[in-house]
Structure formats: structure tokens, C-alpha cells
């Protein structure tokens, strides 16, 4: 026998099924909303981390700018050069440089046998200049060295300051000093 509840039903069977289907549709919508909120939260967290990193980088930038200002003051650079000015500044600095390795390479190619150096002094202030002090067993290697320096095209206007006989460890030798300019444009060599 059937209970009276089963007999009394005011809604037809089809409407009962439609209601239960609507409840099942809410689950995917709720899952989508939770996923979207999770992704939004994740993005907000990333944005906070990036803001913190940006503020840290801004502080580092200010510290570096202060150091740059101190270095410019120390070097005597009064203005902050723009892009073209920076290139001109770099070119002027490069033109003032002397590649001492190239100077020694040139010496290796021009020094005759029987000649030695006791001292080398170089400067790049103004026109690059080098002062060479040394010795030789006689005057002939000194003359050969001067001629080789003139022919090299690397040493400018070599001048013999002095060449005289001296006694070193009981032996007669020729002491000399030569002053000459140095070609600074070494990019072609």
C-alpha cells in the first residue's frame, strides 16, 4: 500500500527534474567564481611583491645617483652629459689614453743589441711623452735606437737629452737619456 504522501503531489514530474538540474548548474558556476577569485588574489599578491621590489630598486637608483654625483664632482665633471655629449666625452678620454703595452711592443721592435734601459717614465698629460734612461756599450747602439725610433712613426720627435761615458761596476759604458712624444691614435696599429 502506498503512503498518502506519494499520492499527493501538486507538481508534475517534469518540473521536479528541472529543479534538480538547476542545482547542478550552480556547482560549476561556484567553482568558476572560486577559481577566478583565487587567480585574482594571486595577481594581487604578485602586484604587491612587484611594488615592494620597485621601491627597493628606486632606493638603489637614488643611492647610485648620489654616488655618480660624488664621482663627477671628484673628477671635475660639472654637467651631466646627454647621449651625444657622452660619446664626445668617451672619445676625448680614449684619445688621451696611451696603450703602454703597445709602447713596450714598439720598444721590443726598435731596441738594438747592446742597449738597455735603466728607467722609463711616461705621461699622458697633454701630448703623451716618454723619458728613457739607459746605457749601451758604445755610442753606436744609441744612434741606431734613435734612428729606429724616428723611422717607426710611433715615437714623435725623439730628442737625445744626453749621452756620456760613465763607469758602471768598473766598466766604461755610455749612459743616455731620450725624450720623445708618443702617438696616441693607436687604433690603426
Residue 76, pLDDT above cutoff 90: no
Whole-number Å distance between alpha carbons of 82 and 135: 51
Per the structure, the complete domain to which residue 61 belongs is given by: 9-80
What does pLDDT average to over the chain?
A: 81
Contacts of 183 (CB under 8 A, 6+ apart): 128, 153, 154, 155, 156
In the chain, the number of structural domains is 2
Whole-number Å distance between alpha carbons of 107 and 138: 19
Question: Residue 90 falls within a domain, yes or no?
Answer: no
Whether 120 and 43 share a structural domain: no
pLDDT band, residue 81 (cuts 50/70/90): low
Q: Which residue in this structure is represented by grid cell 561556484?
A: 30
Cell of 149: 725610433
Closest CA to 177 of 89, 126, 117, 97: 117
Mean pLDDT confidence for 73-97: 67
- Domain stop point among 36, 52, 80: 80
Taken in order 11, 17, 18, 22, the sign of the CA dihedral is positive
Other CB atoms within 10 A of residue 49 CB: 10
Determine the pLDDT at residue 82: 57
Determine the pLDDT at residue 36: 92
Determine the pLDDT at residue 20: 52
Which tens digits make up the pLDDT trace of 150-169? 988 788 889 999 999 988 88
Whether 115 and 70 share a structural domain: no
Question: Residue 158 falls within a domain, yes or no?
Answer: yes
What are the two backbone dihedrals, phi and then psi, of residue 137, each rounded to the nearest 5 degrees? -75, -25
pLDDT band, residue 129 (cuts 50/70/90): confident
Hey, is 69 helix, strand or coil?
helix
Determine the pLDDT at residue 37: 92
Distance of CA 119 to the CA centre of its chain: 34
Question: Residue 87 falls within a domain, yes or no?
Answer: no
Which tens digits make up the pLDDT trace of 89-124? 777 666 666 677 788 888 888 889 989 999 988 877
Determine the pLDDT at residue 189: 39
Residue 187, pLDDT above cutoff 50: no
Whether 56 and 130 share a structural domain: no
CATH code assigned at 106: 3.30.1360.100
Whether 107 and 158 share a structural domain: yes
Residue 63, pLDDT above cutoff 90: yes
Whether 76 and 101 share a structural domain: no
The top-scoring range by mean pLDDT among 15-29, 41-55, 80-94, 157-171 is 41-55
- Domain stop point among 24, 53, 80: 80
- Domain stop point among 48, 80, 112: 80
Amino acid at each position: 500500500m502506498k503512503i498518502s504522501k506519494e499520492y499527493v503531489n501538486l507538481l508534475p514530474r517534469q518540473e521536479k527534474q528541472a529543479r534538480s538540474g538547476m542545482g547542478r548548474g550552480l556547482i560549476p558556476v561556484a567553482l568558476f567564481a572560486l577559481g577566478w577569485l583565487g587567480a585574482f588574489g594571486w595577481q594581487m599578491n604578485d602586484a604587491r611583491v612587484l611594488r615592494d621590489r620597485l621601491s627597493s630598486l628606486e632606493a638603489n637608483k637614488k643611492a647610485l645617483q648620489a654616488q655618480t654625483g660624488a664621482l663627477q664632482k671628484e673628477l671635475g665633471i660639472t654637467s651631466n652629459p646627454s647621449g651625444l655629449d657622452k660619446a664626445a666625452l668617451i672619445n676625448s678620454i680614449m684619445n688621451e689614453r696611451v696603450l703602454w703595452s703597445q709602447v713596450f711592443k714598439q720598444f721590443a721592435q726598435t731596441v738594438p743589441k747592446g742597449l738597455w734601459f735603466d728607467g722609463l717614465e711616461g705621461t699622458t698629460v697633454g701630448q703623451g711623452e716618454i723619458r728613457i734612461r739607459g746605457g749601451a756599450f758604445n755610442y753606436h747602439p744609441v744612434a741606431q735606437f734613435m734612428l729606429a725610433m724616428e723611422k717607426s712613426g710611433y715615437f714623435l720627435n725623439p730628442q737625445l737629452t744626453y749621452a756620456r761615458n760613465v763607469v758602471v761596476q768598473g766598466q766604461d759604458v755610455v749612459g743616455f737619456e731620450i725624450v720623445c712624444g708618443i702617438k696616441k691614435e693607436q687604433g690603426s696599429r
